Structure 1
Amino acid sequence: MKLLQSLLLTLLLFTIPTLIFAQDIMPPTIPWSGKSKSLLVDKSSLWVTPFELSDGLESPTYNQTMDWIKKLVADSEYLELVTAGISEQGRPIQMVIASLDQDFSAKGLSTSKKPLILFQAGIHAGEIDGKDAGMMLLRDISQGSKLSLLEQSNLLFIPILNVDGHERRSEYGRVNQRGPKEMGWRTNAVNLNLNRDYTKLETAGIQAVTEVINSYDPDLYIDIHVTDGADYQYDITYGYVATGGYSPEISNWLSTHFQPEVDQALKDNGHIPGPLLFAANGNDFSAGNVAFSFSPRFSHTYGDIKHIPSILIENHSLKPFEQRVLGTYVFLEQAIKSVGNHFETLQKAVAADSNQPKESIPVKFKFREIAADSMEFLGVASSKVKSEITGAEYVKWEGKPITQSVPSIFMDVPELSVSVPKAYWVPVEWTEVITKLKQHGIQMETLSEAKELRVELSTVTSYSMGNQPYEGLMRVQRFELDKTYRTMTLNPGSVRVGTGQALGELAVILLEPESVDSFFQWGYFNSIFSQTEYMETYIMEPLIAKMLSEDADLKKRFEEEKATNLEFAKSPRQVYRWFYEQTPYFDQNWKVIPVGREW
């Protein structure tokens, strides 16, 4: 028996797969000991967070997080916990409200003389730094020495947005990220990326955030992530729509008042702030840093088109978890102070952007022909190594600080703009589109009785679809349009979406087909491509003969088409099709996008 057990144990040992942890083979890190370490409390403290108890190595589960937060809220008159939504797997998406005035209502907070800041963590659930930083900050506000922060701003804090992805956690959550020990998953329970969902609103998480934004009307929106990609010295990188966006006055406020103060606070606490960083060559920064123009499917660009000052934080994935969390804390604390100190000028910027003229707006951007300038780049030394496995070269990071001068490559030149009509009309039968417009907070008039109206419509003359689903939808890719005027019959329940409102730009982005985030390109009108009625050849032959005998102009156009299009002349199918399209039997709604423009 013992011999059999020994053999079985030996067999088991040889069949267990080798455990490989990316944490053990990551590039070397630069030693760090910043002043922000003083934010950590002793493990004996009554309100020590799970993050602090683990020496900055771990982040608590959903249940552990919520249990800790519920106890904190129950012990403070300045905090309240509300449910912002329910996830696909049935978990509450919780939000903490902090108010010195103890007015936790949406109406009270949206009309308060104090600014309101919304910050969220875990939209990509493995990138969870903001959760642990927010827990520490709320602890120090409600139980420590920082209650005065609530004299400057009211707060909304969503500790975990992608709650289902958060619980798909393991030591194999994110291969390129240095901690925490267990990390959640990037996408939600149905494998959708929440930070690609701000225009199409397919996920419970982004539906919840949109409802919070519409109800509470925050004055600053912060979305906290962790990067992937190359190595560099910066630990807290962040950005906003600085150029090429829809809120230029807000962008100016962020660059003039907000960024200098936040950067200084981070530097004072031993962190190295930087802009959003994307290597132009995909490997290192020798070819420059790219400042992309993100479409409004992303959080900070969605905020920009809604005229909400919005920040995307991207902590550096190769920096230790503790360093990233503490840097996030410093960022959030200074954000509260800066918005409070400059709130009046911020309000003026928001008002100016909300009321700007809307004759035409860009719907697609391209790169500048010449790099904007160069930036002093705090990089990390690297070398090119030839792989013994593939034979190709790859970048090896060496953990040594270097300073470089690299080009700044901006993608902020309008490539395509559209004229803005007075209003759009959406027929009642396109219920899903109307519902999404309402979820965005866009104002509209709803018909109570039928109406006939002459409007401009777009007809798709050619198109191609994506070869695979993107974020669960089949997108329309290359296409061409014709625009013509027609009289539409609009039944009760159809809506008129005026563009003179504050969210007029968002309405254009969603309803103009040329926009990369339009409902058309996302595939919500794909059924217009299906042709459902046909004509048999035994009808077509005598009908064509009659048409040619009675219409000399038609006969002339037919002969010209044959003479100039040899493929057409040789194809009976194309000939029948051509004549069918000349008849009133042909489907007049085929490939017509059912959104009318009122000029």
Structure 2
Amino acid sequence: MKLLPSFLLLVFCMSFSIHSFAQDIMPPILPWDGKSKELLVDKSNKWVTPFELSNGLESPTYVETMAWIEELTKNSGYLEIQSIGRTEQGRPIQMIIASVDRDFTAEELSTSKKPLILIQAGIHAGEIDGKDAGMMLLRDISQGDKLELLVHANLLFIPILNADGHERRSEYGRVNQRGPKQMGWRTNAVNLNLNRDYTKLETAGITAIANVINRYDPDLYIDIHVTDGADYQYDITYGYVASGGYSPQISNWLSTYFQPEVDQALKDQGHIPGPLLFAANGNDFTEGNVAFSFSPRFSHTYGDIKHIPSILIENHSLKPFEQRVLGTYVFLEQAIKSVSGHFAELQEAVKADKNQNPEEITVKFAFRETPADSMEFLGIASRKEISAITGREYVIWEGKEITQQVPSILMDRPVEKVSVPKAYYIPAEWSSVIKKIQAHGIEMEILTEPKELTLEFSTVGDFKMVTQPYEGLMRIQSFDLDKMERTITLQPGSAKINTNQALGELAVILMEPESVDSFFQWGYFNTIFTQTEYMETYIMEPLIAKMLAEDADLNKRFEAEKLSNAEFAKSSRAIYSWFYKQTPYFDQNWKVIPVGREW
């Protein structure tokens, strides 16, 4: 037997002990024996899932998952697998369609009289509960006693959206999460977070999802995650844009019909459902639970601005993997029933939201000045101790159930609005932006011949960029804006985007620079900050003298600027720059955001 070198043996032992130790020192587990355990099939069942075979401890690899699903599909006329794209490493992104009527095309499903439900798992590939729950549910629909679900609805199921991250598997994927044994990675192969990509569309996964949404037009969109953070009793937490969004009638439908029925189904099966939980103080929930106004770069808020009922599930990371998967199964089954049972009301809500045509759109929300109300919070007792290592306080969760009253801190107060123009124009040279707008499904007209128009443009004054990339892009951190009118000739290939359309709100969010998810703030127009031409001082000096001699008003403005700005008066560079801007030689496109508005 060949012995390992001593330093390798030490590394191996350290790695093993660190993993074992991390699991051992997690907060205590609350005992759980929910009725949903009855959903598990015997290991002798032909269609037992890898998750069930592992006693609820493991989740299969990408290859194992797709092999199991392909075999299931071959044995059912109600299932079909379609590839919706390829990951950055070349793996197919697979989607399973379930239809008792064998409607497997986008045209058939988007025009069906049945609701269509899109279920997405593995966008953060370590948070994989939805994959294993979906496999069980598809098994029970196609091979068990739940085919009735497809009598009333059609399903789209993406088991692993971030397939590359899924295959970056190890026992060290998510130290704060209790299983599965091996977990994937949050980001994709080029280290981009797919759930920050819904507006910029830089990843293969979200580009594929945007295409699915455009082509299939789902009636409900469910994105399944697992939390980080504090301990509490809830095992299945979820949410939607309840206020401060762009689809108020859909929000009302979700709170009136969907949430009460899903909550009850989870409770009946032994789970504890709760809202999305973001503690104002991660060590102490009594300071409040924060309901953020997420921008449309995230899944459920992107769905909201596209007027699609959208749910973000965040299962509690400290609950056992088996418990989380079974709770997800219960959620998905009831979601199908609730949408089917209240589909007429849902269609009316969607129609109303698509036909809003507002004159103004909120692009920035802030917290309410006082908490909206309080909630009964099913928490876990904790205590504070002083670290012997850092000397600072840290929290210890004790595994004891407590009930608290917790303020609800809502971030739904509008603080910045923009007027909605009749249309936007994007010049042909910004083709990459035009392609992204098309990928979102926003209707547009592409010019086929030159067109002269007088349009309004935003101009940038002082600005500051981030000091390091965010999601691979250099965002604009702060800036001053002004507006100007200009007559330009747009070339063939330029795009006209009318705002009087179902996705008019999304167009505004992408086009208006004040929006945190605008193409401007994401950095897609950063080249407008570069000056390429300049004027030598030996030209500037005689030219300035000539300008001052011929223009009395210019002389007055120059003297006024010197009087009001001492720094300007002392800076030859600033003076030259000021005069250069008064000449026709100055770059007229510098700091002009190339998005024209037609009023």
Give TM-score scaled by structure 2 length. 0.98
Report the CA distance between 1:421 and its aligned residue. 0.3
- Deviations 1:10-51 (Å, cap 9, x if unpaired)? 676446441212222111010100000000000000000000
Cα distance in 2 for residues equivalent to 1:446 and 1:351: 27
**Are 1:194 and 2:229 an aligned pair?**
no
Aligned to 1:66: 66
Aligned to 1:272: 272
Query: Equivalent residues in 2 for 1:417-432 (5 A)?
Result: 417-432=417-432
Query: Equivalent residues in 2 for 1:460-475 (5 A)?
Result: 460-475=460-475
Report the CA distance between 1:568 and its aligned residue. 1.0
Query: Equivalent residues in 2 for 1:279-290 (5 A)?
Result: 279-290=279-290
Report the CA distance between 1:284 and its aligned residue. 2.3
Cα distance in 1 for residues equivalent to 2:5 and 2:586: 75
Amino acid paired to 1:322: E
Checking the alignment, whether the CA contact within 8 Å between 1:95 and 1:156 is kept in structure 2 is: yes
Structure 1 stretch displaced more, 50-59 or 19-28: 19-28
Query: Equivalent residues in 2 for 1:141-220 (5 A)?
Result: 141-220=141-220
Amino acid paired to 1:577: S
Cα distance in 2 for residues equivalent to 1:168 and 1:293: 31
Aligned to 1:443: 443
Aligned to 2:97: 97
Amino acid paired to 1:280: A
Checking the alignment, whether the CA contact within 8 Å between 1:462 and 1:479 is kept in structure 2 is: yes
Checking the alignment, whether the CA contact within 8 Å between 1:117 and 1:154 is kept in structure 2 is: yes
- Deviations 1:432-460 (Å, cap 9, x if unpaired)? 10000000000001111000100110000
Query: Equivalent residues in 2 for 1:293-332 (5 A)?
Result: 293-332=293-332
Cα distance in 2 for residues equivalent to 1:195 and 1:566: 48
Cα distance in 2 for residues equivalent to 1:12 and 1:531: 55
Aligned to 1:389: 389
Aligned to 2:459: 459
- Deviations 1:71-90 (Å, cap 9, x if unpaired)? 00000000000001100000
Cα distance in 2 for residues equivalent to 1:399 and 1:200: 42
Structure 1 pair 482–265 and aligned structure 2 pair: CA distance change class (3 A): same
Cα distance in 1 for residues equivalent to 2:115 and 2:572: 69
Aligned to 2:119: 119
- Deviations 1:316-360 (Å, cap 9, x if unpaired)? 000000000000000000000000000000000000000013100
Checking the alignment, whether the CA contact within 8 Å between 1:137 and 1:329 is kept in structure 2 is: yes
Amino acid paired to 1:336: I
Amino acid paired to 2:428: V
**What secondary structure is seen at the aligned counterpart in 2 of 1:286?**
helix
Report the CA distance between 1:571 and its aligned residue. 1.0
**What secondary structure is seen at the aligned counterpart in 1 of 2:286?**
coil
- Deviations 1:441-489 (Å, cap 9, x if unpaired)? 0000111100010011000011100010000000001101111111121
Report the CA distance between 1:566 and its aligned residue. 1.3
Aligned to 2:479: 479
- Deviations 1:529-577 (Å, cap 9, x if unpaired)? 0000000000001001100110111111111111221111111111111
Structure 1 stretch displaced more, 580-589 or 8-17: 8-17
Aligned to 1:231: 231
Checking the alignment, whether the CA contact within 8 Å between 1:117 and 1:218 is kept in structure 2 is: yes
Cα distance in 1 for residues equivalent to 2:463 and 2:559: 27
- Deviations 1:51-99 (Å, cap 9, x if unpaired)? 0000000000000000000000000000000001100000000000000
Structure 1 pair 9–538 and aligned structure 2 pair: CA distance change class (3 A): closer
Amino acid paired to 1:220: L
Report the CA distance between 1:162 and its aligned residue. 0.2
Amino acid paired to 1:79: L
Percent identical? 77
Report the CA distance between 1:214 and its aligned residue. 0.4
**What secondary structure is seen at the aligned counterpart in 2 of 1:57?**
coil
Checking the alignment, whether the CA contact within 8 Å between 2:357 and 2:504 is kept in structure 1 is: no
Structure 1 stretch displaced more, 484-493 or 312-321: 484-493
**Are 1:550 and 2:550 an aligned pair?**
yes
**What secondary structure is seen at the aligned counterpart in 1 of 2:120?**
strand
**What secondary structure is seen at the aligned counterpart in 2 of 1:301?**
helix
Amino acid paired to 1:242: A
Checking the alignment, whether the CA contact within 8 Å between 2:357 and 2:501 is kept in structure 1 is: no
Report the CA distance between 1:201 and its aligned residue. 0.1
Aligned to 2:510: 510
Checking the alignment, whether the CA contact within 8 Å between 1:27 and 1:397 is kept in structure 2 is: yes
Amino acid paired to 1:587: D
Aligned to 1:367: 367
**What secondary structure is seen at the aligned counterpart in 1 of 2:212?**
helix
**What secondary structure is seen at the aligned counterpart in 2 of 1:29?**
coil
- Deviations 1:376-416 (Å, cap 9, x if unpaired)? 00000000011111000011000110000010000000110
Amino acid paired to 2:44: S
Report the CA distance between 1:283 and its aligned residue. 2.2
Gaps of 5+ in 1: none
Checking the alignment, whether the CA contact within 8 Å between 2:457 and 2:592 is kept in structure 1 is: yes
Amino acid paired to 1:93: I
Query: Equivalent residues in 2 for 1:336-355 (5 A)?
Result: 336-355=336-355
Cα distance in 1 for residues equivalent to 2:435 and 2:179: 40
Cα distance in 1 for residues equivalent to 2:507 and 2:461: 24
**Are 1:356 and 2:356 an aligned pair?**
yes
Checking the alignment, whether the CA contact within 8 Å between 1:23 and 1:179 is kept in structure 2 is: no
Structure 1 pair 519–10 and aligned structure 2 pair: CA distance change class (3 A): closer
Cα distance in 1 for residues equivalent to 2:361 and 2:267: 38
**What secondary structure is seen at the aligned counterpart in 1 of 2:479?**
strand
Structure 1 stretch displaced more, 565-574 or 63-72: 565-574
Structure 1 pair 71–389 and aligned structure 2 pair: CA distance change class (3 A): same
Gaps of 5+ in 2: none
- Deviations 1:243-296 (Å, cap 9, x if unpaired)? 000000000000000000000000000000000000001322020100000000
**What secondary structure is seen at the aligned counterpart in 1 of 2:555?**
helix
**What secondary structure is seen at the aligned counterpart in 2 of 1:132?**
helix
**What secondary structure is seen at the aligned counterpart in 1 of 2:593?**
strand
Checking the alignment, whether the CA contact within 8 Å between 2:227 and 2:317 is kept in structure 1 is: yes
Aligned to 2:135: 135
Amino acid paired to 2:217: D
Checking the alignment, whether the CA contact within 8 Å between 2:423 and 2:497 is kept in structure 1 is: yes
Checking the alignment, whether the CA contact within 8 Å between 2:34 and 2:271 is kept in structure 1 is: yes
**What secondary structure is seen at the aligned counterpart in 2 of 1:588?**
coil
Query: Equivalent residues in 2 for 1:237-256 (5 A)?
Result: 237-256=237-256
Aligned to 2:598: 598
Structure 1 pair 567–319 and aligned structure 2 pair: CA distance change class (3 A): same
Aligned to 1:263: 263
Checking the alignment, whether the CA contact within 8 Å between 1:434 and 1:495 is kept in structure 2 is: yes
Amino acid paired to 2:482: D
Aligned to 1:561: 561
Amino acid paired to 2:401: P
Structure 1 pair 162–483 and aligned structure 2 pair: CA distance change class (3 A): same
Cα distance in 1 for residues equivalent to 2:595 and 2:135: 46
Task: Give the count of matched residue pairs.
Answer: 595
